Chains A and B, each alone.
Chain A
Amino acid sequence: MDKNFAARRRRDLIIAAVLTAIAALVPLFVKDVVVQNILILTLMYAGLSQSWNILSGYCGQISLGHALYFGLGAYTTELLFTKFGVLPWFGMLAGGVVSALIAMGLGYPFFRLRGHYFVIATIVIAEIGLLLFHNWEWAGAAMGITIPIRGDSWLKFQFARSKVPYFYFALLLACVAWFVTWWLEDSKWGFWWRAVKDNPDAAESLGVDVFNSKMGAAAVSAFLVAVGGSFYAQFVSYIDPESVMGFQFSLLMALPAVLGGIGTLWGPVLGAAILIPLTEITRFKFGGSGSGVDLIIYGTLIVLISLALPRGLMSLFSRPKKTGATR
């Protein structure tokens, strides 16, 4: 690519490094547990949304079933931990591998579908997963799994006294997801994905391996989301099918990327940084009473942002293009 592209990539990397350094210092100043909680969730959703963005944003295969991988990550980790005593770190890897394999297995039939048929298939498969876990006695069925506290260390990835270590892991997750995206953007895969997104038929005829590039995107995306799921399970230390595999997770993963700018490097980060604190604060202020006010505010917000900025918030930053060729 041209010089501008290379310069932009260098600039992105520097911005990311600076932001990470600033974020890493935050726990030194923020001692309030509620605020820490919000920050952890924000970072987690930034990471999840970034991973979702790889398949749905860059490669253009809109998935509304990523809750499946989130849940699989959570369940693999916790089942291995509670039933076999496997450390969560290995469980996390196992969860990622399982999810990536399942994503590729599903890819075989799924990637033949287009448009609404594909989106509905992803919703449906996550829903099947949810129902199966609901009825799987060994995995706790609808009761879920309560994760026993076995220690307070990085080795066990459990921290009873402080939320700060979780914060650093969430930061790591967001950074890794961002860096993977950054790295792939300039790789063969990145270019293939954008070609597949814009016009799969034309891409195919120019020698792009459409099917395998979709598979690659699905595997990377599922792996990272599953790692997020493992983290979430350790963080909240209780999981049940609804709380890790519910449809709302699929949407919550997609939402930051869509609001921030789908298929952009910074969209998910920006979207999460705005959306998640707002969600949590409205829930904190108005929720709990069951009055529904938090839902009204949250829903209105989504409607307004998606109507006002169809390309997402990132479009506010993009300078007008010099070439008139783009739409």
Chain B
Amino acid sequence: MGLLYGLIAVGLALIFGLMDVTNFAHGEFLMIAMYLSFFLFAFFAIDPLLSAPLVAAALFVFGAVVYLLLVRFAMRAKANAGMVQIFTTFGLAIVMRGFAQYFFTPDYRSIPQSWLGGKTVSIAGIFLPEPQLVGALVSIAAFAGLYLFIHRTDFGRALEATREDPGAVALVGIDKNRVFAFGWGLGAALVGLAGAIMAIFFYIYPDVGASFALIAYVTVALGGFGSVFGAFAGGIIVGLVEAVTALVLPPSLKSVGIYAVYLLVVFIRPRGLFGSM
């Protein structure tokens, strides 16, 4: 489960962590991805595993469009930039939830049969559910990919440079909006991937994103802003802490452990575990 939190958080790590733009609609991105995956299955019988790249591509476009139509303007605000970003994306989240309710009804849905759903695999006597295992593998791959992308490509450098100093970046001929639109697209594509995999074993309903979004914020902050590796480590820690808490406390309190660990970590290290900002 930890790696799945990591998978949800990795997209946010890019948007929130690396570009320093608050996205309160991250959970709703996840929700949209899960619905897409559901409908691709329901109408075209495409297994969520196969449709994952399609969903990711669709979310890429969606994320870039959201940036170009909304966030770009929110970032231009000279006063209260933080609050403007929070409330613009929060408003977007509400609109997305409203549309989901309008078109898809508030009913709980799930994908009944898929290649992996409900199957388990036994590794050295430990039974692991297959969807979660695949999710974990995808998560590791996504993190590795993002890490290389940020640290080894021109785009990654452009992204960090743009965050640091948009003015200077413009002087050397980098279009800030293009870089950030691409970053948003990529962040959304990653959460799209997470949504497609989670659709296999999770109920899908308009508010599903809210429950994961907060944990994703905590994961990113726990790892520290500005660090891809931090978000990955944060995801693993969050998953482990949740599992341990669930053993000690009643299941409904399992998130308390995660939150407590976040508070503990930032009190000791006010910039998260691996944060640079």
Contact = CB atoms under 8 A, between A and B. Distances in A.
Q: Is B truly associated with A? A: yes
B170 interface: no
B109 to A, nearest CB: 15
Given A123-B217, A306-B74, A299 B91 contact: yes
Interface residues of B, number: 52
A4 interface: no
A308 to B, nearest CB: 9
B225 interface: yes
A125 to B, nearest CB: 7
A116 B252 contact: no
A254 B84 CA distance: 12
Contact of A135 (B86, B95, B96, B252): B252
Contact of B221 (A116, A131, A259): A116
Contacts of A24: none
Contacts of A225: none
B253 interface: yes
A135 to B, nearest CB: 6
B259 A311 contact: no
A290 B225 CA distance: 38
B140 interface: no
B23 to A, nearest CB: 12
Interface string A286-310: 0000111111111111111011001
Contact of A125 (B96, B206, B252, B263): B263
B211 to A, nearest CB: 11
B214 A123 contact: yes
Interface string A245-257: 0010001001100
Given A128-B260, A258-B83, A307-B73, A292 B214 contact: no
A296 B99 contact: yes
A131 B252 contact: yes
A123 B27 CA distance: 15
B255 A258 contact: no
B180 to A, nearest CB: 17
B68 to A, nearest CB: 13
Interface string B235-277: 0000000000000001011011001101100110011100001
Interface of A: 62, 64, 109, 112-117, 120-121, 123-125, 127-128, 131-132, 134-135, 247, 251, 254-255, 258-259, 262, 290-304, 306-307, 310-312, 327
15 contacts: A115-B277, A127-B214, A127-B255, A131-B253, A135-B250, A135-B253, A258-B80, A262-B80, A290-B101, A290-B106, A294-B98, A299-B96, A301-B91, A307-B73, A307-B84
Q: Which 5 A-B pairs have the closest CB atoms?
A: A292-B101, A295-B98, A299-B94, A302-B91, A299-B95
